[in-house]
Structure formats: C-alpha cells, structure tokens
C-alpha cells in the first residue's frame, strides 16, 4: 500500500460524513472519521472539535481529508455568534492545519452561496448569498482559499458544493412513508423547490473525487429542480401508493416561514463532469435509492 493512502472524514456523525465513510469503505479504502463526542472515540473515530485549542494531528497514514462538519442549522446561523465563528474562522483554521500537514483537502460547501435566483450556476460563477448560513459558507470558502494560497497549496484543495441531500429519515420523508402505510394523506409543499440527491449518490461521488484529487471548485447536484409535491408523487408511484394520498399545499398557505426559498436550486456541473465523469443525479435514481428499504 502506498504511503498516506487513507482518508479522513471530518464530521463523521453528520448525514454527509456517514454516507461518505460508508462509500469509502465500500470502495476498499481505509477511512478514519472524526467526532466531537468523547464517548464515540475509537481507533478509527478520532476526536476533533473545531472549538478546541489543542492542535489536531491527522493519523499518520492519512493523505486526504474531507471537511464535512459545520454549523448547519439555519436558525442557529442567524442568531448564535459561535456558529459564525465555527464556520468562518475555526473551520478554515483547521483546514489550514491539514494543508500544512501535507494533506489534500476537500471543503464541503453549499448551493445556497448562489442565492437561488439564477438557474444552474456553474462552478466558477459569482456568489450571491442571502441568508446567514449561506453568507457564512461563502466567507468560509474565501478564508479556505486564502489559507491554501498562503501555503502555496491550491493544488491540494477543492471546494465541493452540494444541493439538498436526502436519506429515508430526512424530514418529512419518514412521516410520509408512515402516513402512506396507514392509508393517510400527506401535504407536501408546491412552493418549495430543490434539486435533491440521495446520500448514496453523494457518498459515492465524494469518494470518487477523493480518488481523482481534482483541485478547484466542483459541484454535485440533482439533475432536476422539483417541488416537494413532485418528489412525493414520484415516491408514491415507485412504492405503489395511491397518488390521491398526496394533497398539495404551500408553505405560504400553512403560514410556515422557510428561511431559504430559492427559485432555482440545482447546480451546473459542467467542470465537474468534464474532469471526473460524474453526472447530476436524475430524480428517478434519487427515488430508487430512497425506496430501497422503505
Ligand atoms: N444536508 C444537506 O442537504 C446539505 C446540502 C448542502 C451542503 N451541505 C453541507 O454538507 C456538510 C454536512 O451537512 P450535514 O447536513 O451532513 O450536516 P449535519 O448532519 O447537520 O452535521 C453537522 C456535523 O458537524 C458537526 N459539528 C458542528 N460543530 C462542530 C464543531 N465545532 N467541531 C466539530 N464538529 C462540529 C456536528 O457534530 P455533532 O453531531 O456532535 O453535533 C455534526 O456531526 C455541511 O458542510 C453542509 O453545509 C449539506
């Protein structure tokens, strides 16, 4: 085995981190994860808290780190100064340290940095973040790039922006599946647009990016901008439930405040596809993955 062939997933307790670890292991790699939960630490699950002043040293055989962990809650990003500090100062500080240790680093970002008013923004398009979470991720990207430039390590950094990721437990899917099994209707929102991907697709695609070591900005996206009604109809059809169990409504009609309500959610993947062969995930494939065990 070559030197430093192992992978590190910073944020193994997250949705994306868990899916990525499973994919790396499925593809035959040795992969370590990090946790900030002391009681979860094992040989393969090492402690890392961005807030800790103790320097983090990657396990010796690790040559590639995915930095997935973040303060992700939209409301927390609006109100808690610590969320800003974690995203904009402490995460880039850890990435600078990982680059300084000679690792190739992937920093995970989000489609929300583009603001949602333009269809299919490409990897190098300008940002227009609107909500605090998106502004913080935009500033993290700038700080991470600056750190890489100062270390002359831009060739060992990529920033991978993702659209919405789903697994069967993601809200509101689990409650839809339960309702349908009881023969009860669900009320998905027609005014909430997204370009979903399955966690299986995202884990596998990130693992491939880790094998290919392509620097620069990359995107992973669903191939379709759809509403939650479109997704519910596709899921019900796949599972053989009556489409009459889907009663469309809107977040507006329900009086529910949605912090990020983009007109367009999908990301352009032209550069990513050219360099890696990875294509956007079609809705039918998202639905297949979501219904494997439903
Ligand atoms: N989920 C999506 O649909 C989506 C879409 C686009 C982009 N993204 C990006 O993908 C990444 C992962 O998202 P996710 O939804 O999978 O995340 P998540 O499930 O919300 O988990 C976030 C993780 O970050 C960890 N964390 C928070 N603060 C930390 C700190 N100070 N030190 C160390 N770890 C810390 C948390 O640890 P604890 O578990 O111990 O609290 C948690 O495991 C994020 O960068 C997010 O911006 C996600």
Residues 291 and 294: their CA atoms lie apart, in Å, by 5
Residue 35 to residues 17, 141, 196, 241, 265, Cα–Cα distance (Å): 10, 22, 26, 39, 30
Please report whether residue 235 resides in a domain: no
* Ligand 1 centre distance from Cα of residue 69 (Å): 4
Model pTM greater than 0.85?
yes
Please report whether residue 182 resides in a domain: no
Structure tokens at 192: 């909430």
Overall number of domains in the chain: 1
Q: What percent of the chain has pLDDT over 70?
A: 99
Query: How confident is the prediction for the chain on average, in pLDDT?
Result: 97
* Res. 143 pLDDT band, cuts 50 70 90: very high
Residue 133 to residues 50, 106, 187, 267, Cα–Cα distance (Å): 17, 19, 27, 18
Residues 271 and 278: their CA atoms lie apart, in Å, by 10
The predicted pLDDT at position 190 comes to 96
User: Position of tokens 């990513």?
Assistant: 272
Mean pLDDT value of segment 4-13:
97
Residues having CB closer than 6 A to ligand 1 are 11, 13-16, 36-37, 48-51, 68-72, 86, 108, 110, 137, 162, 164-165
* Ligand 1 centre distance from Cα of residue 72 (Å): 5
Residue nearest to atom 19 of ligand 1 (CA): 14
Q: What is the pLDDT of residues 40-84, one digit of tens each?
A: 999 999 999 999 999 999 999 999 999 999 999 999 999 999 999
Look up the CATH number of the domain holding residue 156.
3.40.50.720
Mutate to test the pocket of ligand 1, among 12, 23, 66, 70 (most ligand atoms within 8 A of CB): 70
- Domain containing 134 equals 6-165+197-223+266-281
Q: What is the pLDDT of residues 228-239, one digit of tens each?
A: 999 999 999 999
The predicted pLDDT at position 294 comes to 56
Please report whether residue 108 resides in a domain: yes
Instruction: Identify the weakest region by mean pLDDT among 65-69, 187-191, 289-293.
Output: 289-293
Please report whether residue 277 resides in a domain: yes
* Ligand 1 centre distance from Cα of residue 147 (Å): 21
Q: What is the pLDDT of residues 226-272, one digit of tens each?
A: 999 999 999 999 999 999 999 999 999 999 988 888 999 999 999 99
Mean pLDDT value of segment 91-111:
98
Q: Residue 27: is it exposed, middle or buried by C-beta count within 10 angstroms (0-12/13-18/19+)?
A: middle
Please report whether residue 244 resides in a domain: no
């Amino acid at each position: 085995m070559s030197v430093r062939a192992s992978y590190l997933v910073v944020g193994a307790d997250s949705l994306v981190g868990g899916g990525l670890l499973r994919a790396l292991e499925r593809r035959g790699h040795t992969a370590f994860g990090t946790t900030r939960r002391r009681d979860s630490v094992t040989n393969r699950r090492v402690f890392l808290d961005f807030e800790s002043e103790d320097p983090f040293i990657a396990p010796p055989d690790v040559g590639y780190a995915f930095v997935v962990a973040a303060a992700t809650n939209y409301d927390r990003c609006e109100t808690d100064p610590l969320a800003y500090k974690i995203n904009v100062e402490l995460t880039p500080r850890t990435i600078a340290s990982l680059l300084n240790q000679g690792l190739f680093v992937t920093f995970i970002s989000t489609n929300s940095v583009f603001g949602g008013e333009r269809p299919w923004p490409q990897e190098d398009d300008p940002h227009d973040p609107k909500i605090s979470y998106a502004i913080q991720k935009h500033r993290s990207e700038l700080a991470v790039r600056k750190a890489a430039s100062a270390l002359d390590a831009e060739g060992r950094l990529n920033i991978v922006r993702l659209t919405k990721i789903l697994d069967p437990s993601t809200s509101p899917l689990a409650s839809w599946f339960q309702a349908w099994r009881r023969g009860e209707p669900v009320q998905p929102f027609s005014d909430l647009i997204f370009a979903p991907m399955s966690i299986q697709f995202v884990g596998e695609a990130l693992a491939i990016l880790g094998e290919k070591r392509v620097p620069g900005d990359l995107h992973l996206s669903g191939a379709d901008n759809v509403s939650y009604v479109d997704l519910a109809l596709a899921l019900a059809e796949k599972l053989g439930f009556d489409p009459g169990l889907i009663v469309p409504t809107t977040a507006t009609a329900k009086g529910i405040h949605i912090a990020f309500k983009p007109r367009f959610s999908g990301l352009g993947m032209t550069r990513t596809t050219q360099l890696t062969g990875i294509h956007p995930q079609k809705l039918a494939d998202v639905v297949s993955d979501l219904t494997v065990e439903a």
